[in-house]
């Protein structure tokens, strides 16, 4: 993050689209979102509740700032756009940040949005761990100690942390939606269980207002008093948004295929023939900010505890096959350094990336031979005691693309004398097994963030929950501590480079393919979608709060 | 009277055992509601898991206290809220009409169709219709229901597009003819699947029973009297042959509430079966327990009714 940021126009995010000599932008009568929800809508719109927030935040409730993981400033830090705040500034050691709150914003019930709402929102989370979804008051790296209005300027809010908190900016400014004090703080609302408030008639500041909700569809209308609107420029340029509930992937895909929905966030198996070839107006752009990763149980499996075995697997598996055959090219092959490309190319150093793309059976054999493994008569390597290199990969039932990718992994590992077997479990069971360390190898998406540091840390920090294999390396922990204290993007890049080097050389986990944000869009009557050339936000309908940026950026042709 | 008391005692004992199993089994599944919900969040962070654990809170409570609270809740029908904060009874009442409608009507159709075909097949056994229809429906019955459901969906829903592929309705249901037509239109494919897979069993038993009764003396007597074939078939033979099917049907009614989880899943049909699948996947204990109880009660009550019905119809069974 840059130490200071100021915002001029709220619509800076769409500035890039203005470079084209634009025809008059029309209103879009209706936009249909297509994304498998897996269940009927429960018609509750509580932005503090984890099961509601992915269709509530951004659409109805907004954060202070928008952090774009896909666009960097020249120094490599992610680009930020002022939203409900107009500016922020850190103190020197980044333990305190002051936000200037935007004037003239109204809640959709007509009440004015003020700094009081911001102070209320953050302080409410303090007393309610269930609503503090971002862990702002409990975070291990840094946590809030006070949030209060500036004593001299009632329009500013000061956030104080116990430690340098640059890494918390993304969670507090981008991921945390602001809720209205006059509703959430009203008498009779249990302030220790805010996340259980049904909030079925939501009042937000967002570009949309909820109109009609039933199990099969949510209908939103344009927020006619939206703060970005000016007399000669209506924002958003969408009159109505429909969000039907799809219980299965196939039924959601069919609606996209039939051009009945314009904004999709779906995995489609044969996307070329099923979606792209159907209409010249069907397009996709599927950027990634994290990797789909093989987690290795280093703490419990004596073979995987050996670096040579981990390296051999990483050399053996062919990431190009996993990408092309498994993911039909929709997810790019990963780098063993853990840096997602091209998203974070500013953080990548090809000289330390010695593994990509893998599929190198000879190299794997060399590593294993040097470590004293010999090939048995069955073609599988074993150690001096005869213990074979045979592992089970656990994956998620029903993720057909992952299944296909794992089949290519099994095939390429076999060529290198390593036996892998696949076992699928339902999502909840797999996560429980990951948390309990009940696996040998597990295939799951890593947890990323707006810079590569977030994913590297989640995978390698000895104290991280998502370091499922319990990899522990004091050198990594020191680097992480340094990063958290640092306020300079140059230092941070140097630290990430060292972490990426350890990731490549020590193989704590094996990134296989990048985890794409599925995104399909229809240009028949709508323009201004985010693209690879203009990646103004993460594009899937469930990317919160990026969805609000997309909604306020598209227009009718 | 003693028979009824004994039956009621057995009923209560079975209910208690079922309730206790309902308590234990969901808790043996790995994972909990917080983890299950966390696993479905895009780009989930470890902080979010902590928040979810704080929200659900009761995951690690004392099992004995939890059991006592659970039995109390079962008795008062107070099941609390689901993991997404909706009252359990609200969710159940949303799903109930769809399952009753789809599975209930299908069960009645399958029973009627199966009984009629079985009856007619036995009456005309050896005829081309018996040789064709009875074995055909019986073969279809042996298909796994999910397989038949997918095949029917593929042919009539995806390829021909004659019928909708999912959901119980496309427009919000209302008390209009249009809405009724919409609902029936959506129910055709799942209903057809259920009827095809269920009717074969009824055919089989009805046909066998009917063949047995046809060789009874009173049927020969009726023929000798020169009664019309229809009258012999319906009043003399079928009337006796249908008795075992009737008690079977009474028991089957109990399974209607369970819906057909696979069919409701394939057709995204939002009844109780789909709800149960969701409750299991999201480790939603309150929802799972309430549905379990509902299913158990329905089956037990129907079995009890079938028992009493049989005892009333056939005095010989009362000593059993």
Give the chain B residue whose CA is nearest to the CA of A448: B43
Give the chain B residue whose CA is nearest to the CA of A426: B281
Inspect the interface and report whether the beta carbons of A130 and B48 lie closer than 8 Å.
no
Kind and range of the H or E element at B41? none
Angle at A468 between CA A463 and CA A471, to 5 degrees: 60
The closest alpha carbon to A96, from A162, A176, A185, A1, belongs to A162
List B residues 22-41 in contact with A (Cβ-Cβ < 8 A).
29-32, 35-41
Inspect the interface and report whether the beta carbons of A38 and B43 lie closer than 8 Å.
no
Which positions ≥6 away from B124 have C-beta within 8 Å? B130
Per-residue pLDDT at A23: 65
CB-CB: which of B51, B268, B270 is closest to A129? B51
CB-CB: which of B41, B86, B158 is closest to A50? B41
Query: Measured between beta carbons, which residues in chain B are less than 8 angstroms from residue A448?
Result: 43
Beta strands in A271-417 (DSSP E): 282-284, 288-296, 374-375, 381-382, 390-396
Give the chain A residue whose CA is nearest to the CA of B269: A247
Structure tokens that stand for B71 in this block = 């039995």
Provide Rg for chain A, Cα atoms.
24
Three-state helix/strand/coil letters over A32-71: EEECECCCCCCCCCCCCCCCCHHHHECCCECCCEEEEEEE
Inspect the interface and report whether the beta carbons of A215 and B45 lie closer than 8 Å.
no
Which positions ≥6 away from A295 have C-beta within 8 Å? A434, A439, A441, A442, A443, A444, A468, A469, A509
Give the chain A residue whose CA is nearest to the CA of B86: A42
Query: What 3-state DSSP class applies to A540?
Result: coil
Per-residue pLDDT at A551: 97
Angle at A542 between CA A539 and CA A546, to 5 degrees: 50
| Substitution target from A54, A397, A431, A465 for chain B, most B beta carbons within 10 A | A431
Query: What 3-state DSSP class applies to A81?
Result: strand
Helix (DSSP H) and strand (DSSP E) numbers for chain B? 15, 0
Q: How far apart are CA A4 and CA A85, in angstroms?
A: 13
Inspect the interface and report whether the beta carbons of B36 and A428 lie closer than 8 Å.
yes
With 0-12 CB in 10 A as exposed, 13-18 as middle and 19+ as buried, what is B98?
A: buried
Give the chain A residue whose CA is nearest to the CA of B42: A542
Give the chain A residue whose CA is nearest to the CA of B49: A133
Is the distance from CB of A155 to CB of A87 less than 8 angstroms? no
Per-residue pLDDT at A5: 41
Three-state helix/strand/coil letters over A394-439: EEECCCHHHHHHHHHHHHHHHHCCCEEEEEEECHHHHHHHHHHCCC
Which positions ≥6 away from B284 have C-beta within 8 Å? B33, B36, B82, B83, B278
Q: How many CA atoms lie within 13 A of A320 on its CB side?
A: 7
Q: How far apart are CA A521 and CA A541, in angstroms?
A: 11
Q: How far apart are CA A423 and CA A396, in angstroms?
A: 8
Q: How far apart are CA A223 and CA A212, in angstroms?
A: 14
Angle at A326 between CA A322 and CA A331, to 5 degrees: 75
* A109: closest CA of chain B, how far (Å): 25
Inspect the interface and report whether the beta carbons of B57 and A130 lie closer than 8 Å.
yes
Which positions ≥6 away from B205 have C-beta within 8 Å? B118, B244, B245, B248
Query: Measured between beta carbons, which residues in chain B are less than 8 angstroms from residue A216?
Result: 167, 169-170, 172
Total CB pairs under 8 A between chain A and B: 141
Is the distance from CB of A128 to CB of A194 less than 8 angstroms? yes
- Tokens 């599927």 sit on residue: A286
* B63-76 vs B285-313: helix crossing angle, rounded to 10: 50
Any A CB within 8 A of B278 CB: yes
- Tokens 């400014």 sit on residue: A173
* B22: closest CA of chain A, how far (Å): 19
CA distances from A468 to A22, A124, A268, A440, B269 (A): 50, 32, 29, 10, 37
The interface pTM score, or ipTM, of the predicted complex is: 0.76
The closest alpha carbon to A139, from A454, A474, A508, belongs to A454
| Substitution target from B46, B91, B261 for chain A, most A beta carbons within 10 A | B46
Inspect the interface and report whether the beta carbons of A135 and B47 lie closer than 8 Å.
yes
Which positions ≥6 away from B106 have C-beta within 8 Å? B190, B191, B194, B195, B198
Give the chain A residue whose CA is nearest to the CA of B276: A39
Inspect the interface and report whether the beta carbons of A435 and B41 lie closer than 8 Å.
no
Q: How far apart are CA A61 and CA A58, in angstroms?
A: 5
Q: How would you classify residue A111: left for phi > 0, otherwise alpha for psi between -120 and 50, otherwise beta?
A: beta
Inspect the interface and report whether the beta carbons of B270 and A247 lie closer than 8 Å.
yes
The closest alpha carbon to A60, from A266, A260, A241, belongs to A241
- Tokens 């159709």 sit on residue: B109
Query: Measured between beta carbons, which residues in chain B are less than 8 angstroms from residue A215?
Result: 94, 270
Which positions ≥6 away from B113 have C-beta within 8 Å? B195, B199, B202
| Substitution target from A136, A192, A247 for chain B, most B beta carbons within 10 A | A247
How would you label A59-78 residue by residue, b for 16+ Cβ within 10 Å and e otherwise? bbbbbbbbbbbbbbeeebbb
* A130: closest CA of chain B, how far (Å): 4
CB-CB: which of A52, A431, A447 is closest to B31? A431
Any A CB within 8 A of B46 CB: yes
Any A CB within 8 A of B169 CB: yes
For residue B23, report the phi and psi dihedrals to the nearest 5 degrees. -75, -40
| Substitution target from B29, B31, B86 for chain A, most A beta carbons within 10 A | B31
CB-CB: which of A51, A247, A435 is closest to B37? A51
* A519: closest CA of chain B, how far (Å): 14
Cis bond upstream, residue B33 (ω within 30): no
With 0-12 CB in 10 A as exposed, 13-18 as middle and 19+ as buried, what is A279?
A: middle
Inspect the interface and report whether the beta carbons of B43 and A448 lie closer than 8 Å.
yes
Q: How many CA atoms lie within 13 A of B2 on its CB side?
A: 3
List B residues 216-235 in contact with A (Cβ-Cβ < 8 A).
none
Per-residue pLDDT at A13: 44
Sheet with A85-90: strands ordered across: A4-6, A85-90, A96-101, A156-161, A144-149
Average pLDDT of adjacent 10-residue blocks, chain A of 557 residues: 42 46 82 85 90 92 96 90 97 95 96 97 93 88 94 96 93 96 95 91 97 90 96 94 83 88 92 94 95 96 96 95 89 94 92 87 94 93 93 88 92 95 87 90 93 94 91 95 92 96 96 94 96 95 95 96
Q: How many CA atoms lie within 13 A of A301 on its CB side?
A: 27
Is the distance from CB of A509 to CB of A294 less than 8 angstroms? yes
Query: Measured between beta carbons, which residues in chain B are less than 8 angstroms from residue A129?
Result: 50-51, 54
Per-residue pLDDT at B171: 65
Inspect the interface and report whether the beta carbons of B94 and A39 lie closer than 8 Å.
no
Is the distance from CB of A456 to CB of A448 less than 8 angstroms? no
Q: How far apart are CA A209 and CA A213, in angstroms?
A: 11
Q: What is the pLDDT along chain B (320 residues), one digit of tens a residue?
A: 777 888 888 888 988 898 888 888 888 877 788 888 888 777 778 888 888 888 776 555 678 888 888 888 888 888 877 877 788 888 888 888 888 888 888 889 999 988 888 888 888 888 887 888 878 887 888 888 888 888 888 888 878 888 887 777 766 667 788 878 888 888 888 888 888 888 888 888 888 888 888 888 888 888 888 888 888 888 888 877 887 787 788 878 877 777 678 888 888 788 888 888 888 888 888 888 888 888 888 888 888 888 887 777 666 666 54
Query: Measured between beta carbons, which residues in chain A are less than 8 angstroms from residue B47?
Result: 132-135, 138-139, 171
Provide Rg for chain B, Cα atoms.
24
List B residues 92-121 in contact with A (Cβ-Cβ < 8 A).
94
The closest alpha carbon to A313, from A367, A374, A273, belongs to A367
CA distances from A376 to A110, A360, A382, A384, A389 (A): 75, 19, 7, 11, 10
Q: How far apart are CA A134 and CA A455, in angstroms?
A: 16
Inspect the interface and report whether the beta carbons of B43 and A135 lie closer than 8 Å.
no
Cis bond upstream, residue B60 (ω within 30): no
Is the distance from CB of A443 to CB of A406 less than 8 angstroms? yes
Per-residue pLDDT at A371: 94
Which positions ≥6 away from A126 have C-beta within 8 Å? A132, A137, A144, A147
Query: Measured between beta carbons, which residues in chain A are less than 8 angstroms from residue B29?
Result: 429
Structure tokens that stand for A86 in this block = 């107009």
CA distances from A284 to A260, A281, A382, A492, B172 (A): 16, 10, 45, 33, 32
Give the chain A residue whose CA is nearest to the CA of B154: A250
Query: What 3-state DSSP class applies to A209?
Result: strand
């Amino acid at each position: 993050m840059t130490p200071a940021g100021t915002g001029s126009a709220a619509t800076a995010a769409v500035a890039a689209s203005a470079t084209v000599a634009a025809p008059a932008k029309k209103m879009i009568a209706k936009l249909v979102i297509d994304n498998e929800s897996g269940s009927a809508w429960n018609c509750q719109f509580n932005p503090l509740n984890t099961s509601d927030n992915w269709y509530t935040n951004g659409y109805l409730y907004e954060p202070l700032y928008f952090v774009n993981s896909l666009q960097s400033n020249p120094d490599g830090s992610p680009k930020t756009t002022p939203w409900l705040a107009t500016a922020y500034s850190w103190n020197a050691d980044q333990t305190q940040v002051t936000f200037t709150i935007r004037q003239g914003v109204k809640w959709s019930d007509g009440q004015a949005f003020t700094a009081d709402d911001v102070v209320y929102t953050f302080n409410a989370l303090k007393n309610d761990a269930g609503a503090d979804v971002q862990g702002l008051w409990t975070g291990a790296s840094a946590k809030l100690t006070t949030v209060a209005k500036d004593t001299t300027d009632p329009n500013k809010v000061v956030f104080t942390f116990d430690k340098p908190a640059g890494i918390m900016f993304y969670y507090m400014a981008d991921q945390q939606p602001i809720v209205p004090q006059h509703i959430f703080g009203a008498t009779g609302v249990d302030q220790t269980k805010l996340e259980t408030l049904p909030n079925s008639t939501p009042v937000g500041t967002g570009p949309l207002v909820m109109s009609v909700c039933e199990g099969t569809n949510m209908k939103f209308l344009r927020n006619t008093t939206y703060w970005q609107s000016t007399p000669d420029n209506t924002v958003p340029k969408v009159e109505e948004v429909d969000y039907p509930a799809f219980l299965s992937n196939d039924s959601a895909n069919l609606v996209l295929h039939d051009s009945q929905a314009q904004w999709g966030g779906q995995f489609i198996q044969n996307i070329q023939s099923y979606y792209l070839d159907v209409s010249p107006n069907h397009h996709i752009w599927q950027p990634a900010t994290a990797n789909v990763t093989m987690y290795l149980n280093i703490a419990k499996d004596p073979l995987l505890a050996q670096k040579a075995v981990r390296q051999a697997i990483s050399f053996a598996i062919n990431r190009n096959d996993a990408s092309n055959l498994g993911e039909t090219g929709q997810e790019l092959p990963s780098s063993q350094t853990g840096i997602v490309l091209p998203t974070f190319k500013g953080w990548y150093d090809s000289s330390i990336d010695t593994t990509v793309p893998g599929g190198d059976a000879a190299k794997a054999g060399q590593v294993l031979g040097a470590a004293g493994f010999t090939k048995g008569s069955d073609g599988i390597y074993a150690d001096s005691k005869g213990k074979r290199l045979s592992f089970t990969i656990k994956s998620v039932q029903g993720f057909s693309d992952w299944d296909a990718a794992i089949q290519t992994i099994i095939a390429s590992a076999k060529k290198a004398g390593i036996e892998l077997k696949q076992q699928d479990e339902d999502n909840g069971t797999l996560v429980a097994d990951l948390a309990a360390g009940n696996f040998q190898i597990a295939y799951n998406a890593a947890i990323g963030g707006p810079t590569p540091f977030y994913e590297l840390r989640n995978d390698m920090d000895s104290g991280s929950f998502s370091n499922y294999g319990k990899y522990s390396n004091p050198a990594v922990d020191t680097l992480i501590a340094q990063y958290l204290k640092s306020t300079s993007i140059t230092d941070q890049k140097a630290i990430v480079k060292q972490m990426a080097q350890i990731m490549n050389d020590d193989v704590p986990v094996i990134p296989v393919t990048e985890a794409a944000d599925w995104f399909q869009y229809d240009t028949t009557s709508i323009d201004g979608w985010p693209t690879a050339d203009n990646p103004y936000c993460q594009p899937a309908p469930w990317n919160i709060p990026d969805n609000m940026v997309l909604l306020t950026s598209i227009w009718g042709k | 009277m003693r028979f009824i008391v004994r039956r009621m005692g057995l009923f209560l004992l079975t209910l208690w055992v079922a309730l206790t199993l309902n308590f234990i089994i969901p808790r043996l599944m790995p994972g909990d509601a917080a983890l299950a919900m966390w696993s479905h969040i895009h780009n989930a962070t470890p902080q979010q898991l902590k928040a979810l654990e704080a929200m659900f809170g009761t995951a690690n409570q004392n099992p004995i206290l939890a059991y006592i609270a659970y039995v109390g809740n079962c008795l008062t029908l107070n099941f609390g809220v689901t993991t997404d904060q909706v009252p359990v009874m609200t969710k159940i009442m949303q799903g109930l009409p769809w399952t009753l409608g789809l599975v209930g009507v299908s069960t009645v159709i399958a029973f009627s169709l199966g009984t009629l075909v079985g009856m007619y097949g036995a009456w005309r056994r050896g005829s081309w219709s018996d040789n064709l229809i009875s074995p055909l429906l019986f073969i279809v019955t042996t298909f796994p229901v999910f397989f038949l459901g997918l095949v029917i969906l593929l042919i009539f829903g995806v390829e021909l597009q004659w019928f909708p592929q999912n959901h119980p309705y496309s427009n919000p249901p209302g008390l209009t003819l249009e809405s009724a037509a919409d609902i029936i239109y959506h129910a055709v494919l799942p209903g057809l699947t259920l009827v095809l897979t269920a009717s074969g069993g009824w055919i089989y038993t009805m046909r066998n029973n009917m063949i047995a009764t046809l060789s009874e003396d009173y049927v020969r007597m009726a023929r000798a009297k020169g009664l019309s074939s229809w009258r012999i078939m319906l009043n003399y033979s079928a009337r006796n042959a249908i008795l075992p099917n009737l008690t079977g049907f009474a028991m089957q009614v109990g399974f209607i509430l369970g819906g057909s989880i696979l069919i409701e899943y394939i057709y995204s049909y939002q009844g109780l079966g789909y709800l149960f699948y969701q409750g299991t996947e999201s480790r939603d204990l309150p929802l799972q327990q309430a549905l379990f109880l509902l299913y158990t009660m329905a089956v037990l009550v129907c079995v009890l009714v079938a028992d009493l019905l049989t005892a009333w119809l056939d005095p010989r069974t009362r000593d059993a």
